[in-house]
């Protein structure tokens, strides 16, 4: 088990290095110049104050953009490992500080939506599997279809209008308090509830047809024990990878949901930075996203090992 965990952790590092290279290259290939965006394109008789070419180069020098790209990458990477993600082009504040202000809100939102996902998708999946082909199954399927067909910005706006404006039951003023986050978290979760519950349904139906279920019943175990402690325990294994990826994605911030609900999280911040070609922020964010996804995958792998002894012992017969 320890060996397995170590191996999994070691694999993460090359992933991160490769990702950092790709991130660095990617943003430099993206069209648009940060100085142009900050001060308006050169040589355009724009009403806003445009500045001279010399001034532009001076700003570029200050931002470190005149060095050759490999040097820029080395400098950046050296700082990154010291957790110095540079200063933003826009506010000239350390990226880490700005991130630290926003990450907790996004994390709260992510875990809240993950919780909502679990308490809705798992019971729905179980209910439809147990009532396969009956009214409850069709009902769940219909609702799932409706929600999965509805884009989250539309669902978000709809709920915002109905619950916030029409009936006024939920605070929609925007903020990072729990009361502000419940509705956006639900909107995020609802997007994937259908997928997870359908997958669980299929997996559970297959497990319920296995011989060990017949055997457990033949020993007189109650329906509840057979369902939850035997079948569901095995049926959740295939959907764990998806759950982990979802949590990883949610921790990276949801641009749409955060924008609609005016939540001061990472997603909205990054969107603004991308539009402003704020390289340090975008780089830092992408790096953060890679770290989160890699960690989420690691957590998934390790929890597989905890929950599935066949993986823990490498499937080897030892007896």
Partner 1 sequence: MVMETLATSGSNLVRLTNFSVGYPTSNGVVPALRDISLDICEGESLALVGESGSGKSTLARALIGLVEAPGRATGGEIELASLGRSTSADRRTGVAGKIMTMVLQEPRDSLNPVLSIGSQMGMVLARRGVPRRERRSAASELLRSVRLEDASRVLRSYPFQLSGGMCQRVAIAMALAGQAKLLIADEPTTALDVRVQASILRLLSELQREHGFALLLVSHDFGVVAEVSQTVAVMYAGRLVEYGPTTEVLGNPRHPYTAALLNARPTLGAGLPIRPIGQAPDAGKVHDQCAYIPRCQHADALCSESPHPLPDGSLSHSAACYHPIEFVGERSVDAAAARQSPEIPKLPLKPAKLLEVRDLNKRFRVGGALGKQSVQALTDVSLDVSPGEIVGIAGETGCGKSTLAKCVLGLEYPDSGSIRIDGVDLTKLGKSEVRKLRRRVQAVFQDARASMNPNRKIIDVVQEPLRNFGIGDRHERAERAREMLSRVGLSDDLFERSPGQLSSGQCQRAALARALVLNPRLLICDEPFSSLDLSAQAQLMHLLSDLQAEYGFGLLLISHDLAVLTSLGSRIVVMLGGRILEVLPAGQTEHRIVHPYTGALLQSIPGFSGNERRVGRPHSAAKKIELSGCPFVSDCDLAIDLCGEVMPAMSTTAAGHEMACHRSADLPDLQLVSTAHL
Query: If DSSP codes are grouped into helix, strand and coil, which group holds residue 169?
Result: coil
Radius of gyration, alpha carbons of the chain: 25
Please list every residue from 222 through 241 that binds partner 1, using CB under 8 A. Answer: 222, 225, 229-230, 233-234, 237
Output 243 or 289, the one with its CB closest to partner 1. Answer: 243
Output 6 or 18, the one with its CB closest to partner 1. Answer: 6
Output 166 or 317, the one with its CB closest to partner 1. Answer: 317
Give the nearest distance from C-beta 133 to partner 1 in angstroms: 10
138 sits near partner 1 (criterion: CB under 8 A)? no
Give the nearest distance from C-beta 298 to partner 1 in angstroms: 17
Q: How far is it between the farthest Cα atoms of the chain? A: 85
Q: Name the segment binding partner 1 (CB under 8 A); options: 21-29, 103-111, 249-257, 304-312.
A: 304-312
| The only residue of 53, 149, 219, 224 in contact with partner 1, by rule CB under 8 A | 219
Burial string for 117-144 (b: 16+ CB within 10 Å, else e) reads beebbbebbbbbbbeeeeeebeebbeeb
Q: Is 244:296 a contact under the CB 8 Å cutoff?
A: yes
Q: Is 148:142 a contact under the CB 8 Å cutoff?
A: no
Burial string for 221-230 (b: 16+ CB within 10 Å, else e) reads eeeeebbeeb
Output 183 or 205, the one with its CB closest to partner 1. Answer: 205
d(CA 51, CA 45) in angstroms, rounded, equals 11
Cα separations in angstroms, 270 against 36, 72, 226, 267, 292: 19, 21, 47, 5, 15
Output 115 or 314, the one with its CB closest to partner 1. Answer: 314
Query: If DSSP codes are grouped into helix, strand and coil, which group holds residue 302?
Result: helix
210 sits near partner 1 (criterion: CB under 8 A)? yes
Q: Name the segment binding partner 1 (CB under 8 A); options: 3-11, 12-20, 115-123, 186-194.
A: 3-11
Binding residues with partner 1: total (CB under 8 A) = 32
d(CA 294, CA 249) in angstroms, rounded, equals 11
308 sits near partner 1 (criterion: CB under 8 A)? yes
| The only residue of 136, 170, 221, 298 in contact with partner 1, by rule CB under 8 A | 221
Which stretches of the chain bind partner 1, using CB under 8 A?
3-4, 7, 210-212, 214-222, 225, 229-230, 233-234, 237, 307-310, 313-319
């Amino acid at each position: 088990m320890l060996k397995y965990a170590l191996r999994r952790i070691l694999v993460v590092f090359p992933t991160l290095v490769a990702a950092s290279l790709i991130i660095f290259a990617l943003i430099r290939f993206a069209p648009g110049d940060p100085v142009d965006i900050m001060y308006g394109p050169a040589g355009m008789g724009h009403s806003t104050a445009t500045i001279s070419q010399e001034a532009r180069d001076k700003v570029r020098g200050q931002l470190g953009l005149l060095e050759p790209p490999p040097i820029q990458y080395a400098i950046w990477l050296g700082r990154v490992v010291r957790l110095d993600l540079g200063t933003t082009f826009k506010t000239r504040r350390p990226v880490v500080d700005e991130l630290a202000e926003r990450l907790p809100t996004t994390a709260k939102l992510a875990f809240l939506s993950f919780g909502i996902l679990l308490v809705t998708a798992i019971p729905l999946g179980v209910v439809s599997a147990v009532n396969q082909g009956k009214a409850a199954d069709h009902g769940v399927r219909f609702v799932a279809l409706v929600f999965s067909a509805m884009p989250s910005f539309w669902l978000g706006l709809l709920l915002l209008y109905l619950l916030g404006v029409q009936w006024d039951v939920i605070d929609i003023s925007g903020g990072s308090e729990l009361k502000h986050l419940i509705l956006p978290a639900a909107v995020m979760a609802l997007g994937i509830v259908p997928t997870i519950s359908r997958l669980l349904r299929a997996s559970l139906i297959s497990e319920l047809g296995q011989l060990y279920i017949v055997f457990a019943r033949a020993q007189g175990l109650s329906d509840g024990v057979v369902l939850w402690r035997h079948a569901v325990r095995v049926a959740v294994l295939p959907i764990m990878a998806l759950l982990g990826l979802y949590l990883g994605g949610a921790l990276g911030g949801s641009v749409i949901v955060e924008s609609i609900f005016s939540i001061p999280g990472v997603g909205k911040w990054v969107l603004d930075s991308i539009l402003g070609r704020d390289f340090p922020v975008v780089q830092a964010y992408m790096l953060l996203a890679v770290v989160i996804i890699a960690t989420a995958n690691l957590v998934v792998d390790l929890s597989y090992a905890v929950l599935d002894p066949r993986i823990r012992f490498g499937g080897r017969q030892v007896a």
